[in-house]
């Protein structure tokens, strides 16, 4: 299979890339190519211009400043997985990434590409939704921020305009001692998950849960935060009954269905995997363990 003909552009700066994407008709941005290249080869997308972001070194970085972590859009998934800074400050991302495709796809795939491709089952958008991340977008009229909760506009469609580029994503890491887990069910290792769960737990006073964040992949067009489950846990002792009660609130989620699984099965997985993710997060040192 071969891609359709297109004109290739390889800008060296963000400004050049924005100028190209805002002036060319029917242009597509290329990051790691792990989703776009198959779509080109299968002729699902037929761009006249391909704008390659890979020469823009300013878009590839992981940094912490003023307590906030920022990751450039073209940072490879493998670099995020192996980052010492993120291993210390946000182990959730590493746990999520280990379930994204294969080492070969993570060597090329980027965080920005995963967010913009926005597969409903993708792990990174769910982890970033649990972290309440902010997406930083640049366009011809300057920069703007999009909260992760507003980033999915529609099925596989991010809330960025055709002449904008995702530049970075940032979040406040949870305090030291928090627990995290990413648990999913996929039919084969390396496949997209049917349902995945990102969980974060911060210990509160007297062995209670101070704060919880739970985000599901694979139940809606974008990540779904389980506010009811989070509220059930906050301020409670995290015993097995409390975890079960929190997980059971996911049975009320309006889950999508497709050729891979009906919505009833996705709801079943949401309950079961949320329970497993919470147990795994609590089992981490410092996070407390279920009684
Ligand atoms: C065998 C295989 C298994 C996989 N398994 C999984 C999996 O289990 N979980 C999972 O989440 N993913 C999986 N993927 C997809 C992989 O994670 C991709 O890396 C990701 O979906 C896209 O990232 P990319 O950098 O390759 O983006 P590309 O493929 O280059 O681009 C994807 C889309 O995003 C747009 N885009 C890219 N960067 C930007 C930017 N900075 N600003 C605006 N638009 C941008 C592109 O125009 C395109 O529309 C798999 C892929 C393969 C080949």
**DSSP assignment of 78-136:** HHHHH-HHHHHH-HHHHHHHTTSS-HHHHHH-BHHHHHHH--TT-HHHHHHHHTT-EEE
- Between the CA of 96 and the centroid of ligand 1 the distance, in Å, is 15
Reported as type and span, the H/E element at residue 41 is helix 36-41
C-beta of 60 in contact with ligand 1 (< 6 A): no
- Between the CA of 255 and the centroid of ligand 1 the distance, in Å, is 23
What does the pLDDT look like over 6-42, one tens digit per residue? 999 999 999 999 999 999 999 999 999 999 999 999 9
Rounded CA gap, 107 and 58, in Å?
18
User: What is the pTM assigned to this prediction?
Assistant: 0.96
Share of the chain above pLDDT 70, in %: 98
What does the pLDDT look like over 54-64, one tens digit per residue? 999 999 999 99
Closest C-alpha among 231, 236, 229 to residue 277: 229
Strand runs labelled E in the chain? 7-9, 27-30, 49-52, 62-65, 68-72, 134-139, 142-147, 152-154, 157-158, 165-171, 179-185, 195-203, 209-217, 224-225
C-beta of 222 in contact with ligand 1 (< 6 A): no
pLDDT in the model for residue 291: 40
Q: What is the mean pLDDT of the chain?
A: 95
Indicate the pLDDT class of residue 189, thresholds 50, 70 and 90. confident
In the chain, the domains with their CATH numbers are: 7-52 (3.30.43.10), 62-171 (3.30.465.10), 179-282 (3.30.390.50)
What does the pLDDT look like over 228-274, one tens digit per residue? 999 999 999 999 999 999 999 999 999 999 999 999 999 999 999 99
Site to substitute for ligand 1 among 28, 41, 42, 113, most atoms within 8 A of C-beta: 113
Site to substitute for ligand 1 among 24, 26, 35, most atoms within 8 A of C-beta: 35
C-beta of 76 in contact with ligand 1 (< 6 A): no
Q: Look at ligand 1, atom 53, and give the residue with the nearest C-alpha.
A: 34
């Amino acid at each position: 299979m071969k891609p359709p003909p297109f004109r290739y552009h390889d800008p060296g700066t963000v400004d050049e890339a924005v100028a190209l994407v805002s002036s060319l008709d029917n242009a597509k941005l290329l990051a790691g190519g792990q989703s776009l290249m198959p779509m080109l080869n299968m002729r699902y997308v037929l761009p006249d211009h391909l704008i390659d972001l890979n020469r823009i070194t300013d878009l590839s970085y992981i940094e912490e400043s003023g307590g906030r972590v920022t990751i450039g859009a073209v940072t490879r998934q493998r670099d995020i997985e192996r980052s010492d800074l993120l291993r210390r400050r946000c182990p959730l991302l590493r746990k999520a990434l280990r379930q994204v495709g294969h080492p070969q796809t993570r060597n090329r795939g980027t965080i920005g590409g995963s967010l913009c491709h926005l597969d409903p089952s993708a792990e990174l958008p769910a982890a970033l939704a649990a972290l309440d991340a902010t997406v930083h977008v640049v366009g011809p009229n300057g920069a703007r921020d999009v909260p992760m909760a507003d980033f999915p506009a529609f099925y596989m469609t991010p809330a960025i305009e055709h002449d904008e580029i995702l530049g970075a994503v940032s979040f406040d890491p949870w305090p030291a001692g928090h627990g995290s887990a990413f648990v999913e069910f996929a039919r084969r290792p390396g496949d997209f998950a049917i349902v995945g769960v990102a969980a974060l737990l911060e210990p509160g006073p007297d062995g209670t849960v101070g704060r919880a964040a739970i985000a599901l992949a694979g139940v809606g067009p974008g990540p779904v935060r389980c506010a009811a489950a989070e509220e059930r846990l906050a301020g409670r002792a995290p015993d097995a009954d409390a975890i079960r009660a929190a997980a059971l609130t996911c049975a009320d989620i309006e889950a999508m269905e497709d050729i891979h699984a009906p919505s009833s099965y996705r709801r079943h997985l949401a309950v079961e995997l949320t329970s497993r993710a919470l147990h795994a997060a609590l089992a981490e040192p410092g996070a407390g363990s279920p009684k």
